[in-house]
Amino acid sequence: MCHRNNYKCYFIAVLLFLGFVILVLFINKETRAYAISEAEKNIEDALLTHRAIHSFVEEIQKPEIYRLKETGKLYPEYFAPEILSFTYIARTFKEFLNEERQKAGIDEIYFKLAASNPRNPVNRADETELELLRQLNAGELTELKKVYEKDGKKYLYYVKPINPNKDSCMRCHGDPLSAPDELLDMYGDKKGFHEDVGFIRAMVSIRIPLERWFDNAHKTTVVLSFISFCVLSALYLTIVMFMRRIDRQQLEIEKDYSLLEANARLREEVERITRHDLKSPLNAVINYPDLIQSEGNLTERQIKDLRVIKEAGLRVLNMINLSLDLYKMESGTYQFLPHDVNVITVLKNIEQEYAEILKRKKIRIRYFVDERDLMQNQILYIKGKELLFYCLLSNLIQNAIEASPEDGIITLSLTTGEETTITIHNSGTVPYEVKHTFFEKYATHGKKHGTGLGTYSAKLITETLGGHIAMDSAPEKGTTLTVSFPSAKKKEHNVSAHLSPTPL
């Protein structure tokens, strides 16, 4: 079965089974209805034959006999039911027809002019027919068509009254004195006499055997049911197979997911331990310079070096703390209170930090604020968090320094307005293969010590600060990184309020 979706499979099985049962019932009903409609056609055919015989006797046979009598070729009292009684002729015709049917292996049809007061005893109504005749005469019934069982066999039973007695019928069905002598000789003066006008003396009684039709219907039902069963089973198997595939996929996804979860937990654990383990030795790096300085007796140079050591330690500590922040930014749980940060100071600090490598590669950094050279002690505030700006810009500048050829110029242009934009340009180019994955996690571009996290965290930080970041690189133009931040308040859009030289 389909394991996890078991109950769904059972449900579908039950549903399909119910559908199958309904279908079989429907097929059975329809095939039986078809069988009956075929039997009805036989009834109609028998009635039409009956009427045709009537027309033949009345319109062709009788006029000919009357002509013979009128021309004296036949004596006036001549009467022979074989030629002059429609009912006799019709009955005999049907008897022959049944014989032919029997020879041809077709079901015989019961057709009778059932009468309560028959002239010919073969026309005597049986008990059922007697009762129906009574009902017809009492006006309780006009016609009857129903499936009827006799001696364990099913028939379609049809009953229709013949026209009631008219004046013309009275000659042979009223007072025997008015009947032809030859009729009296043949049938006597009792049977089929003493009736009134308006009396329904007989009814057409037809029984079509249904067995053969029902057999066919049954066979059709079995075949159609079998086909439906096969189709529904195939459908069910297909569904089960489909569900099993879904099962397997679900399982795989769950496996993958739990693996990912375990990985994430492991990573967090490692990071937590690393942070903790790194922080303890860092305490010594941060605190010992103060201790050494308090001992006194140090040269200016030594004091300056100690400050460099302490600041480096603090920066590493910040970095460790930031790695935790990055994790929060990723999961969208990072929160901070923005305050005004002078980005120019941040940029200058970063330049100082990379002073040595800049000197080694003979790279110069040029600053522009709104397309003008940077003034002494100029300030430019952006709302955010200093550490985040530091980390972001240091990252981007480090990349620019690494990518820039020797003797190159890195241009830092700041633009104020609706947004505050910082562009960092160097003349190196980003390889084509990494252009589209530049800001993606773990996307390195052939750097020896690259973690692939630098640009990713730059994007993360920019977005956390409410800004956006873009990169453009072309062989002739070099590489430009642009970070833009919304300018905080309306009044701060005022450039002069934004940019003002710090009083000394």
- Of 115 and 369, which has the nearer Cβ to ligand HEC? 115
Q: Which stretch binds ligand HEC (CB under 6 A): 5-13, 163-171, 229-237, 493-501?
A: 163-171
- Of 123 and 479, which has the nearer Cβ to ligand HEC? 123
Asked if residues 229 and 169 have their Cβ atoms less than 8 Å apart, the reply is no
- Of 201 and 207, which has the nearer Cβ to ligand HEC? 201
**Hey, how many other C-beta atoms are within 10 angstroms of the C-beta on 366?**
12
Asked whether position 389 contacts ligand HEC by CB under 6 A, the answer is no
Per DSSP bridges, beta strands 364-369 and 409-415 are parallel
Q: What is the CA radius of gyration of the chain?
A: 57
Asked whether position 479 contacts ligand HEC by CB under 6 A, the answer is no
Instruction: Please state, in angstroms and rounded to a whole number, the distance separating the CA atoms of residues 228 and 28.
Output: 13
Backbone φ, ψ for residue 149 (5° rounding):
-110, 130
- Of 59 and 305, which has the nearer Cβ to ligand HEC? 59
Instruction: Please state, in angstroms and rounded to a whole number, the distance separating the CA atoms of residues 52 and 311.
Output: 125
Helix (H) or strand (E) run with residue 230 in it: helix 211-294
- Of 59 and 277, which has the nearer Cβ to ligand HEC? 59
Residue 151 Cβ, how far from ligand HEC at the closest point, in Å? 25
Q: Which of 115, 159, 388, 400 binds ligand HEC (CB under 6 A)?
A: 115
Asked whether position 385 contacts ligand HEC by CB under 6 A, the answer is no
Sequential DSSP letters for 373-393: EPPTT--BEEEE-HHHHHHHH
Asked whether position 172 contacts ligand HEC by CB under 6 A, the answer is yes
- Of 47 and 162, which has the nearer Cβ to ligand HEC? 162
Asked whether position 118 contacts ligand HEC by CB under 6 A, the answer is yes
Asked whether position 29 contacts ligand HEC by CB under 6 A, the answer is no
Sequential DSSP letters for 435-450: STTTTSTT---S-SS-
Q: Which of 201, 207, 459, 498 binds ligand HEC (CB under 6 A)?
A: 201
Which residues, in sequence order, are CB contacts of 111 under 8 Å at separation 6+? Answer: 46, 50, 94, 204, 205, 206
Asked whether position 193 contacts ligand HEC by CB under 6 A, the answer is no
Instruction: Please state, in angstroms and rounded to a whole number, the distance separating the CA atoms of residues 301 and 114.
Output: 142
Q: Which stretch binds ligand HEC (CB under 6 A): 48-56, 169-177, 293-301, 449-457?
A: 169-177
Asked whether position 213 contacts ligand HEC by CB under 6 A, the answer is no
Asked whether position 53 contacts ligand HEC by CB under 6 A, the answer is no
The one-letter amino acid at 491:
K
Q: Which of 162, 222, 224, 239 binds ligand HEC (CB under 6 A)?
A: 162
Closest to 457 (Cα-Cα) out of 471, 438, 474, 472: 438
Per DSSP bridges, beta strands 478-486 and 153-161 are unpaired
Q: Which of 39, 136, 159, 183 binds ligand HEC (CB under 6 A)?
A: 183
Which string of x and - marks every residue 56-85 that binds ligand HEC (by CB under 6 A)?
-------------------------x---x
Closest to 110 (Cα-Cα) out of 201, 210, 205, 45: 205
Asked whether position 205 contacts ligand HEC by CB under 6 A, the answer is no
Instruction: Please state, in angstroms and rounded to a whole number, the distance separating the CA atoms of residues 413 and 468.
Output: 16
**Hey, how many other C-beta atoms are within 10 angstroms of the C-beta on 194?**
11
Residue 60 Cβ, how far from ligand HEC at the closest point, in Å? 17
| Residues in contact with ligand HEC by the rule CB under 6 A | 81, 85, 87-88, 91, 113, 115, 118-120, 123, 162, 165-166, 168-169, 171-173, 183, 187, 192, 201-202
